[in-house]
Amino acid sequence: MAQHGGGRGWYGKAMGAALGVTLLATGASVWTAQAGAVDSSSRAPAPATRGGDIKPVAATIAHASEAGARGVNITIDDGPDPVWTPQVLGVLREYGVKATFCMVGTQAQAHPDVVKKVVAAGHRLCDHSVSHNTAMDKDSQTYQSQQILDAERMITKASGGVRPMYYRAPGGAFTPYSRKLAASRGMRPLGWNVDTKDFERPGTDVIVATVERELPGGPTLLFHDAGGDRSQTVEALRRLLPRLKEQGYSFGFPVR
């Protein structure tokens, strides 16, 4: 089982003192799925992203791509960051790729200008909790609710009214309760298939090789745009996006 590294270290210092939350790193489950596998919930109606009534979506964890059998979902976690998110946006714009940005509530609240840039570029938003506590599945339902709903409000306000369309639990710390709560708010629980390990800064070559090796196991790729120097992530995306296009892949959003 792979482990999602995001959330260790920098969040413990930056968020713990402010929110009174003890951040614990735990092993994260990764849900494998064949790229483009048929997902019956992909036919669930998508809620309006701005205003209007909230329409519930499926509570199962999504992996498949709306782009079909050769689709790839680029997902970017832990931001927004005023330095690295704009650089990621620049690479995505250069290659005409849309991505899903899984934002931490406090980060969105601190950088609403960056959130608005993500939305203006046509990317989708994802609720990644208030404080990125990777052990939140061990906490009470009241705490889980606060983490999910407060982050939803923070991100929606920062975006200028555009709501998150997905919920990704920090470190994969989903519970049946958190999945159902997110789905009731129109946010499809979002997993991943390929953990690029970019959070650990293993080197651009290693990040690229990890994607090429593991992509046959499922279409949803996990990258990060916050938590330190993300130059390796930016360069890896710069190499991977045109290479995957040449191999016949297309880029889309996770199913809802």
Q: State how far the alpha carbon of 23 is from the alpha carbons of 48, 124, 190, in Å.
A: 33, 27, 21
H helices within the chain, ranges in order? 10-14, 16-19, 84-94, 105-110, 112-120, 141-159, 176-184, 204-214, 231-246
CA distance 249 to 191: 20
**Count of beta carbons in the 10 Å neighbourhood of residue 220:** 27
**Torsion (CA) 27, 232, 99, 149 in degrees, nearest 10:** 40
In the set 63, 137, 224, 225, the catalytic residue is: 224
In the set 4, 39, 77, 128, the catalytic residue is: 77
Let me know if 224 is a catalytic residue: yes
Residues catalogued as catalytic: 77, 224
